[in-house]
Structure 1
Amino acid sequence: MNRRFLYMLVRASPLCGSYTLRRTNPSRLFYPMDSPERAAAAAAAAAAGAVRAATSKAEATERPVEDARLPPATTTFRCYNTERPHFGLFGRDKDKILVVDENEAVSRAVVYDDASRCIHMLPSPREPKIEPFSVAVGDNLYLMEGNPQGDKDDSDEHERSQYEATVEALLPGGEDTYWWRSIPPPPYAARMCNLNDDVRAYAAVGESSIWMSTDLTTSTFALDTASGAWSRAGDWPLPFVGRAEHVPEHGGLWFCLSDSGLLHAWDLRAEGRPAARRTRGHIADMAEGLLVGSEVAHLGDGRLCVGRLFEVKQEGSREHCTCCRYHWRPSRVFAMFTGVEVEDAGDGTLHLIEHKSCRYSLGVGKSAQFVF
């Protein structure tokens, strides 16, 4: 397993800019390979796959869920410029976190190194990003705008830089330093603002490429991170929503969780439109909760962690805002981590073996986001 920790940011309240960093060891989510519990989980995955093959529906399996105490905070980030700062994970050991706190007037960024517990100050990005997301490629992290709008001006001095890469360099003294490298906007970015054309799906492909599709385009575009050049990867959109995670142990497949709780796999390196790989198995969810977010993390050795956030409405209690007199019913937020093993069934399908699930109660009115 190549990941020591999985990270999650917990926000104290909707009106608070403090985020506490929590981390958990993913090894606790898996049974030993030769244990009877693992054998039972594999048999359950095969049985669920047989039911799905016969009925074209996923069987809702109920696996035991461990309610655990929320891990202690390792550090706290206080962000004042935006309602929702951006956090991105990168580094060879997946232990460095980019924090971007920005609004229309100011943008600040730091890198937190969890291994050394150090903060590295970054130069400010050239311009604030609209709905940013980030993609790790090698040791670098690419901060991208979720609604790219092209250059505002043709001159080099005023050229808009919506895609910037954090590049790490090791100095002779042993100190880590970082800087921003500007990248031209993608070819589909319109010169006029189009607030409806958001990046819909993206993935790191290979050692030096990022693929993405938007809501309004019918093509997939590729960024060569080495040269900074854009090209058209195909005349089809990516077949998933959000970020897909690469699992190289199974022939180079990319995995993404659907809203229905199914873990899908695609081969992005196949000729033509990405081909879906058949999967058998269903990841159990919280029957009483509303799914509000999910991420998939590759752990190595064919193992994944599926992280999900659920909200459960609290009956009989209401909160109100003293400014606008708006009333709402607060929700209790839960974070659930599930260990999943991907096993080749030998007939062209993949068995998704669900190991353990660990559930954390974050409290009422809290919010969180995974940094996978």
Structure 2
Amino acid sequence: MSSSRLPLSRFRVLDLTAHRAGPTTARQLADWGADVIKIEPPAALDDEPGGGLIGKRHGSDFQNLHRNKRSLTLNLKEAEGKAIFFKLVETADVVLENYRSDVKTRLGVDYEACRKVNPRIVYGSISGFGQDGPYATRPGVDQIAQGMGGLMSITGLPGQGPVRVGIPIADLTSGHFLAQGVLIALLDREHTGVGQWVHTSLLEAQIAMLDFQGSRWLIEGDVPGQAGNDHPTSTPTGVFPTVDGHMNIAAAGDRLYRRLCRALGREDLITQAEFADTGLRRRNRVALNEAIAAETRKWKRADLVAALTEAGVPSGPINSIDQTFGDEQVQHLGIARKVEHAQLGTLGVVGQPINLSAAPQPETLRMPTPELGEHSDQLLGELGYDADGIARLRAGKVV
């Protein structure tokens, strides 16, 4: 599919973000066709390429995060660099940033400054803790938000102490939430004719992701703890051993529980007094899990998954990452995508989980992660600068 047919191809996005949360927003918009211009400091001024946390530019993380964007180097601390930025703002639809809440104002590229140039601009911000309030100017990264947002207190085995989730979930979810917010604001602009400031934070995103664990406290006054591999409220749902590895089984509720017991040849567990209803099974979770595990460890994992699938009980293997991408259903879904890089060759990246019937994902992503400033001459030319003018900007370390 050509980029002109992608759903967001009519929008231009100026991406001032670094690290992971903001670039995740930009990637969401870029993958669906937006013209995302990644604005980065000139090489001579950048002492932390990639924001210092994402690794080298040719590394897997950076390449996966910044595909489908064009790169412009620009020194926003120089008056002429800022003037170029605002020329871009004039015709842009979206500006994205994830500075600490006060930095954009000090740089003079905040929402009010952009709105004066282009009232239609949608300005998207991510911060650690919010744009105002007692923590507004504090630096914040994913793991800090995981801890402050309660997630680490409910992750891990009971009594083992707080455990970090294995992905930067606050970064990723705040990036996705901001992308959603930007799209909402663009839709609203169709009615109002003007843009607005959209913002979220790592802390807000992490708390939103608590979902039912948060409502257990807000509504019931219950402080959830660590439940390990068991579902916090549904029993039996958890990890069980087999002859050749572990698997997940989810058989909460009377109907699924009966199906599980029959598939395992343990119909006696259906009427056993301590497991007779949902409340009793939750109360006697440890004993029930032991009884189920005694049966599952007799099976090969694939055979048990097949038997439980036939019985209508949700189950599945616990895969390593290579096994995940080797799974036949994952391969059928095609979420592993390819992109062609001039220096690195064919690269595999993680694709979009969203499927649109009239706008299918292309087999190959349209652009690899750009080299630093790869499109600077092109973009400056679009703004009217000739070769001599661009050379002058380079000599002055403006670009």
- Quick check: which has more Rg, 1 or 2? 2
Task: Report the structure, 1 or 2, having the larger helix content.
Answer: 2
TM-score when normalising by structure 2 = 0.24
TM-score (norm 1): 0.26
